[in-house]
A and B are shown apart, each in its own frame.
Chain A
């Protein structure tokens, strides 16, 4: 059986999104809902509630110790942002519990994804995007296809990684040659199953190209550049050694000042380290 069919045959075993995501989405989409309604749902999951508070008080949001309740967190950082924090934590936990001998350490892959999330958000902030909530989550999820490979076809995936190293190829090309499918498509498959919004699906599917069907897309450009930066700085480990040339159109779409990275380096590292503390350390 080829790899695609192997994956599809096991689609029923794909991890499901934590149920709290659907519940929260329903409540948030109801215009009559209040911060307390959302807070009550989150409070039922004590671990999630504690992590939301930790995140809200971390340098990621900058409310150093001033947020003491979930309702306050919702008021300060927003419904959607809190929902996305909960979902990010849920997904990381689902894949963190995997056991086995993996060609890439899942924790290192998460560190990479968290870095991409932080940098994507930083880029969105500097572009003065008002709805930033999907920026962090898009970064967190961009390599979710690799986690599917690790979970369901670790041996085949190990061969793809070896092939990439041997031939000095970017992950996507090595995966296509060895597996007949790459992590972008596999990630999209999972995103479809999870019924994630189109913006997140696009970020997963197109992050290595930096464009959607040849059209510029700011979020996709941000994830594309963030992926390059996280790999260059070796924040975590994406499982591929080659850092492909960034798409010049993505740089153009972001239109950053020439000294952007010098100016934002300190906050980037501070936020990254804080996020590792929130999401990966218990």
Chain B
């Protein structure tokens, strides 16, 4: 699900959701571009104030990850890992892995 954000709030890694055109109809930035701070500066010089970006993994219109689904995925992962997350970055990785597999499962349905 795309959301509108201010150009100042662009963060590295966000993805531009819609082509941005200037007043002459020229495309400044195509959809799908992975954004960085240089893009933000560039857009400001064109007086573009807001931009539509694809939401990140956790905010996106995710398939509803039910408890049952989550357990199924965690069981599958734990068969392949003899470790559980020890630090915040590993917890984040597991959380995103669950969303990733849930998306795949709902695509297959």
Contact = CB atoms under 8 A, between A and B. Distances in A.
A251 interface: yes
Interface in A251-282: 251, 256-267, 269-271
Nearest to A125: B12
Contact of B96 (A231, A241, A246, A265): A265
Interface residues of B, number: 34
A258 B97 CA distance: 15
Nearest to A256: B89
Nearest to A255: B89
A229 interface: yes
B82 interface: yes
Contact of B95 (A229, A262, A264): A262
Interface in A114-134: 126
B54 A258 contact: no
Given A243-B81, A248-B87, A251-B89, A232 B57 contact: no
Nearest to B30: A64
Contacts of A266: 13-15, 54, 56-57, 60
B100 interface: yes
Nearest to B39: A62
Given A126-B12, A231-B80, A263-B56, 4 more contacts: A62-B33, A232-B93, A261-B92, A263-B13
Interface of B: 11-15, 30, 32-34, 54, 56-58, 60, 77, 79-83, 86-90, 92-97, 99-101
Interface of A: 59, 62, 64-65, 126, 228-229, 231-234, 241-246, 248, 251, 256-267, 269-271
